[in-house]
Structure 1
Amino acid sequence: MKKQLFLMGTLLCFAVTATTAQQIAVLKYGGGGDWYSNPTALPNLIRFCNAQIGTKIDPEPETVEAGSVSLFKYPFLHMTGHGNVFFNEGEVQNLRTYLLSGGFLHIDDNYGMEPYLKRELAKVFPDRQLEELGTDHPIFSQKFNFPDGLPKIHEHDGKRPQALGIFDKGRLVLLYTYECDLGDGWEDPSVHNDPEEVRTKALQMGSNIVEFAFKS
């Protein structure tokens, strides 16, 4: 087992430092939640990042299962959905190893996944709690400046948007964006009919997350 974890960590470290490492994958999970929602979101965010912050991300994001060894090929994972989330024991261990080995996971709550997600994150990190990021966190001041923190994209329950994280030795390994719905703002304009100003804020914040993750 220790040898396997070492090899996984080595693979991820290589992927993060390689010139072709700028890749984003959608995390596929069990439980019945719609992990596949917002199909136009990531391709639009990738185009924006490649144009605005100089990334060279493959324009078509791949899909990876939570328990797959292929997880370690990607320095950045994106997860979204509306409903139930479930990780089995193997997936819990795989995700934990991935994140502690240098990986990064952005979870964007598309509305309704909070209670299920928190239950599963407690399995992945029983020794850590989600912590709210202060507005002075560098993720809000990459290329684009958000002095008030996470922007509000969709109303949902009318609560304030929150950026919550899990840290390991001071490094942000997981970001959970709640009551914000960045992914809806990344979608094609015709999907939600969001004003251009709102879509721009969502894309700018998304590119900040990508930029931060690739640097950390």
Structure 2
Amino acid sequence: MITKSKNIRPLTIFVGIMMSLTSNSVLAQDVAVLKYKGGGDWYSNPTALPNLVKYCNDNIDTNINENIQTVEVGSTDIFQFPLLHMTGHGNVFFDDGDAENLRKYLISGGFLHIDDNYGMEPYITKELKKVFPNNELKEIPKDHEIFNSVYTFTNGLPKIHEHDGKASQAFGIFHEGRLVLLFTFESDLGDGWEDQEVHNDPEDVREKALKMGANIVKYAFEN
């Protein structure tokens, strides 16, 4: 069994994969970048997650390993992490094994944040139907806990990059009442987490992105 930090609900491992993980040293508060097939740039925004982790460790009393790992969606390694982060601009493909592995991870306590880096939406929405055939992405209301877990966002998901000027939206998939997957769209949080010189975002914009990221981290670790 993999547990999150104290007072955080356990991430239960299915019997079929438990033996393969017992020899691993698992930290209670680790996050990882999710690598996927299809040719999309899963590796984009390389400074984003390290900067978010440092922000959380400095501001919301987390103790996350700042050496960010990469895990493949079809690997049992994903069960070591309470939170996975996925991003990119283009194509995403899950084979049947990937979809089943990700589903087991999510319904057993894991959390996936997918941040559309612009252009990912048509591909990921199709592939998520393989993971949850009977669950649709639903827009998350602005009063949901994820917008209030540490910092308050009364207007919901903040807009970080303009792209084509559409409003930012947060969608989710729920399992037994728990938000297990967050899809942030037309916001580009990860660009706001990156080093300042990458996109030259104003400091107040980067701060909004990091605070929203901290909300996501806290929610994922505690739910």
- Specify the TM-score bucket, using the shorter chain as the normaliser: over 0.9
Distance 1:65 1:91 in 2: 9
Query: CA distance change for structure 1 residues 148 and 37 in 2, over 3 Å: closer, same or farther?
Result: same
Question: Structure 1: which 5+ residue stretches go unaligned?
Answer: none
What secondary structure does 1:165 align onto? strand
Distance 2:16 2:178 in 1: 21
Q: How many residues align?
A: 209
1:129-144 equivalent positions in 2, closer than 5 A: 129-144=136-151
On the 8 A contact 1:29/1:35 being kept in 2, the answer is yes
On the 8 A contact 1:9/1:98 being kept in 2, the answer is no
Shift in Å, 1:142? 1.5
On the 8 A contact 1:22/1:57 being kept in 2, the answer is yes
1:90 equivalent in structure 2: 97
On the 8 A contact 1:87/1:120 being kept in 2, the answer is yes
On the 8 A contact 2:26/2:80 being kept in 1, the answer is no
Which letter does structure 2 place at the counterpart of 1:122? K
2:202 equivalent in structure 1: 195
1:146 equivalent in structure 2: 153
Q: Greater helix percent: which structure? A: 1
Query: CA distance change for structure 1 residues 125 and 92 in 2, over 3 Å: closer, same or farther?
Result: same
Q: Which runs of 4+ in 1 moved over 2 A?
A: 4-12
On the 8 A contact 1:153/1:185 being kept in 2, the answer is yes
What secondary structure does 2:180 align onto? strand
Correspondent of 2:122 among 112, 115, 124: 115
Shift in Å, 1:42? 0.4
What secondary structure does 2:84 align onto? strand
Distance 1:59 1:95 in 2: 24
Shift in Å, 1:26? 0.3
1:6 paired with 2:23, answer no
Shift in Å, 1:20? 2.6
What secondary structure does 2:114 align onto? strand
Which letter does structure 1 place at the counterpart of 2:50? P
1:159 equivalent in structure 2: 166
Distance 2:182 2:59 in 1: 22
RMSD of Structure 2 on Structure 1 (CA): 1.8
